[in-house]
Amino acid sequence: MIYDLIVIGAGSGGVRAARIASVHGAKVAMIENNKFGGTCVNVGCVPKKFFYYLSQINKDIANYKSYGCKISDPQINWRKFIQKKDKEITRLNTIYENILNNNKIKIIKGSAKFVGSKKIMVGKKILQAKNFIIATGGKPKKTNLLEGNKHVNTSDDIFDLKKLPKRMTIEGGGYIAIEFAYIFANLGISINLIYRGKRILKTFDEDIVDFLIKNNPNNKIKIHFEKTITEVNKLKKEYVVRLDDKKIIKTDYVLSATGRIANTKNLGLEKTKVQINDNHSIKVNRHFQTHEKNIYAVGDVIDYVNLTPVAIRQGHFLADKLFNNKKMIEYDFTNIPTAVFTSPQIGTVGLTLEMAKKNKIDAYELTTSFKSMKKTFLTKDKDTFYKLVISKKDKTILGIHIISDDAAELIQLLAVNVVARNTLDDFKKTVAVHPTSSEEIITI
C-alpha cells in the first residue's frame, strides 16, 4: 500500500495532522516508538501542571489561615501523588490512541528511518507514502561535565522523582528551570539555581522578571548568576556540586534544565534532501515544507515556538494544505500568548518596549502594581504587576505583560486585544468588573 500521508510522531501536532488528513479522506499511517501524546502529555505541560497545583497548597492554606481559619499543615504523600499523576497520563495516552483508531489511522509501533524521499523503514518493514510529516518533538539537552554526568537528572526524569529531597540544585535560566525552581521551593525545598547568564527569562519583560525574583517563596531560591556546573560527585547520601568558580554546593538532587534539542537523530534524513540547523532542528519554509518537497515537519522538531497549541495549529494547517486547500486557514504565529507557571504566574503576549524599539516602533508603557484583594490579611507586599506596551502613533496595544496568581488564565483573553489590534481607547471604553484584579488593567 502507498499511503497518502505517513506521520512520524504521535504528539499533539502529529496527531492533529493525522486526524484532519483522515477527515479529508486521506489514507494515513502513524509511526510512534513511545507513549502516545508526546512531550506535553508525558513529560511536559500536563504532569508539570499537576506538580504546580500541588505546590500551591501551602500558599493557599497560609491565606486561608489569615482569614481566621484553623487548618492543619498538609502532609504530602509523594508516592501516592506520583501514582495518581501516572494514572491520569495513562488515561490521556489511551485517548490519543483512540483518536487515531476512531479516525481509521493505521498505527505502527516502532522507530522510522527514511530510506528515500518516499520510503521509510520501521523495523524490517518498508512503508511508502506520497507525503510525510515529521513530528518527532524534542528532548532535553544532555550535560557535558568534567565528571558526574550520570548524577544529573533532566526535565524528563524529574516526573518520576521517587521522593521529595530537602535540597535541590537546578542549572538553567529559561522557563523550564524557573518553573521547577518555584514549584519545588513552594514545596519547602531549598533551591540553588545556577545560571550562566546575567538575567533569567531573558526574552521576557525585565520589569516582570524583576518582580518575580522579589517574590521568592520563603526565600528558598538562591540564584547564582554567571556560573556553570563543572562536576557532580556522590558522597554517601548527598551530591557535591562544583561550580566553575570552585564553589561547592551540597545537595540531594541535581536537575539540568538548560534547554531542549530536536529529535532528528537516526531518522535517516541523510537519505533525503531535508536540511537541519546547527541545533538539530529541521529547516522548513512558512508552510512547514522541508527542502524535500513531499516531506514536512511541525512542532518542537522545527524549533519555532515550542508550545503545544502552536504544534496543533501547524499540524491542522498542514493537513488542510495537503488535502483540502479550499478550507486552509493561514494562522498568525506572531502574537502567541505564553505563560510561566511560577508563583506568581507570568503571562505575556506581543512586544516588549525593548522589542518595539528594535523594530523601530515608537511606543510607550503603562504600568500598575498592587496587592490582590484576596491577600488583604496575609501580607503587605504587592503580588500583581500589569504592563501595556502602546503605539504612540495610534494607541494600538502592541504587548501585554502581567504577573499575578491567575496570569495564565488572564493572558489568554488579553491576547485577543493584541491579535485584534485593539487600542488603549478600546480598553477605556470597557466597563470594569468590580472588585477584581483584572479591572486594574482596564483602568490603567
CATH number of the domain residue 288 falls in: 3.50.50.60
pLDDT tens, position by position, 112-132: 999 999 999 999 999 999 999
Mean pLDDT of the chain: 96
pLDDT tens, position by position, 160-208: 999 999 999 999 999 999 999 999 999 999 999 999 999 999 999 999 9
Q: Is 372 helix (H, G, I), strand (E, B) or coil?
A: coil
Residue 114 lies in a domain: yes
Q: Please, what's the largest Cα pairwise distance for the chain?
A: 70
Which residue, 234, 258, 282, sits at the end of a domain?
Answer: 258
Question: What is the predicted pLDDT for the residue at 175?
Answer: 97
pLDDT tens, position by position, 322-372: 999 766 667 778 899 999 999 999 999 999 999 999 999 999 999 999 999
pLDDT tens, position by position, 243-259: 999 999 999 999 999 99
Residue 182 lies in a domain: yes
Q: What is the pTM of this model?
A: 0.95
Listed residue (344, 327, 333, 178) closest to 255, CA to CA: 178
At which residue does the C-alpha cell 522545527 appear?
302
Which residue, 327, 347, 377, sits at the end of a domain?
Answer: 327
* Residue of 24, 280, 316, 434 marked active site: 434
Helices (H), 137-174: none
Residue 410 grid coordinates: 488572564
Residue 333 lies in a domain: no
Residue 16 lies in a domain: yes
Tell me if residue 434 is catalytic: yes
Q: Examine the domain organization and report whether 85 and 161 are in the same domain.
A: no
Query: Domain containing 436: what range?
Result: 338-442
pLDDT tens, position by position, 33-48: 999 999 999 999 999 9
Which residue, 284, 308, 327, sits at the end of a domain?
Answer: 327
Listed residue (138, 142, 187) closest to 164, CA to CA: 187
Distances in Å between the Cα of 81 and the Cα atoms of 45, 56, 114, 247, 255 are: 17, 14, 41, 35, 20
Question: What is the predicted pLDDT for the residue at 255?
Answer: 98
Q: Examine the domain organization and report whether 241 and 269 are in the same domain.
A: no
Residues with Cβ within 8 Å of 184's Cβ and at least 6 positions away in sequence, in order, are: 55, 164, 168, 191
Instruction: Report the alpha-carbon distance of residue 194 to residue 147 in Å, rounded.
Output: 17
